[in-house]
Amino acid sequence: MNLKEDLKNILIHELTQLGENVSKSSNIKELVRLHINLLTKLIHPQPRKIHKSKIFLTKEQILHEPFKKALQDICYKLEIGIDVNGHLSKQSTNPSYNDLLLNDWAIHHLHISNKKKNTNQLFYDRSDWLFFVLLKPKDIYLLDIYRHGDQFVFSKQDLLKQIKHNWPEILKPFEATGFEGVTKTFNDEDISRLRKVGINVVNVIDDIAIFPIGGGLSTAGTNINHTMEVNRMLLILENIEQQLHEKKSFVEKELKKYKVNKKDDIDFELYVNDQGGFAIREKKTKININFIIKC
């Protein structure tokens, strides 16, 4: 049993399919980080309650009709849980690409388009208009609409202001204490420039200092939260292996219910289940052993 090695093999296959240059010699922590980065950039299809800022409500009404209809279509998908990943940036499926807006402020952007030149293409045609959203498991907050060509469109602090002015409770956990009287502030251009060199900024919104709600950037532009998530995931696998070793007699007893002979070589593997998540099963019989992990 080597669950980390199983995970490594799964991720090598996944990332190779996406065009990543990875191999057996690749570091498992980097493979897991790439996997998490990919998942963070995508929007998992599930029903969500839509919340619109006041400025969003105003701007959606003055969009020209083709864009207004496209936006309505996308909002419908978001609400009932239809896949909207085709409206994201084309870099969303590139595991190596760091979305600095997402890593800094946890904000996704989508293209307001519902047309495809080729029905087989993954992404919808690119659009002159983008809308920006903050994603939660059961809710999605629609912040603002901008032209794609607007200057510093991905570092506009007005996006944070929309969160603060419409849903202040979201930013409450990220408010910095002990920063009274902050005098140094940064404009949108400053933030764009500093992100590119991996420097985090404490934004000041209505005289309140706000830490990066997306986790913040490393000097390489990667998400700091992802590094912690990598370590957590690998530690979980270590703990599961330890449980399976320590509870060997219990495991054998449970598997016997499924006609597994105690004399057989019992071994376990990590695999991807039908829901696309990671699970553990007995290697020979393919019996899932999730019920064992909780004991």
C-alpha 168, offset from chain centre: 22
| pLDDT score, position 228 | 92
Please check the confidence at residue 258 and state whether its pLDDT lies above 80: no
Tokens of 269: 């593997």
State pLDDT tens for residues 79-91: 999 999 999 999 9
Answer yes or no: is pLDDT of 64 > 80.
yes
Q: Positive or negative CA dihedral for 151, 153, 156, 162?
A: positive
Residue 290 has pLDDT above 80, yes or no: no
Is 23 a residue whose pLDDT tops 90?
no
Query: Could you tell me if 210 and 203 are in contact, meaning their C-beta atoms sit under 8 angstroms apart?
Result: yes
Each residue's pLDDT tens digit, 155-189: 999 999 999 999 999 999 999 876 665 656 899 99
Q: Cα–Cα distance between 107 and 78 in angstroms, integer?
A: 15
C-alpha span between 131 and 123 (Å, rounded): 16
Q: Report the pLDDT averaged over residues 179-205.
A: 85
Q: How far apart are CA 225 and CA 216, in angstroms?
A: 7
Q: Given pLDDT bands bounded at 50, 70 and 90, which one contains residue 281?
A: confident
- Write the CB contacts of 119 (distance below 8 Å, at least 6 apart in sequence): none
Q: Which residue type does 67 have?
A: F
CB-based contacts of 98, cutoff 8 Å, min separation 6? 37, 217, 220, 221, 222, 223
pLDDT value for 263: 57
Q: Helices 28-41 and 3-17 meet at what angle, rounded to 10?
A: 50
| 13-22 mean pLDDT | 89
Q: Which residue has the tokens 């896949």?
A: 83
Among 23-27, 126-130, 174-178, which is the least confidently predicted range?
Answer: 174-178
Q: Which residues pair with 140 in a beta bridge?
A: 50, 135
Question: Burial code of 109-131, b = ≥16 C-beta within 10 A, e = fewer?
Answer: bbbbbbeeeeeeeebbeebebbb
Higher pLDDT, 287 or 3: 3
| Cα 157–Cα 160–Cα 166 angle in degrees, nearest 5 | 135
Give the model's pLDDT for residue 184. 67
Please report, as a single letter, which amino acid is at residue 135. L
Mean pLDDT, range 245-264, rounded to an integer: 70
- How high does pLDDT run on average in the chain? 89
Residue 160: its H or E element = helix 158-166
Going along the chain from its start, the domains and CATH numbers come out as 3-37+225-293 (no CATH), 42-215 (3.30.2310.20)
Q: How far apart are CA 59 and CA 80, in angstroms?
A: 23
Which 3 state secondary structure label does DSSP give 129?
Answer: strand
Does the predicted TM-score (pTM) go above 0.85? yes
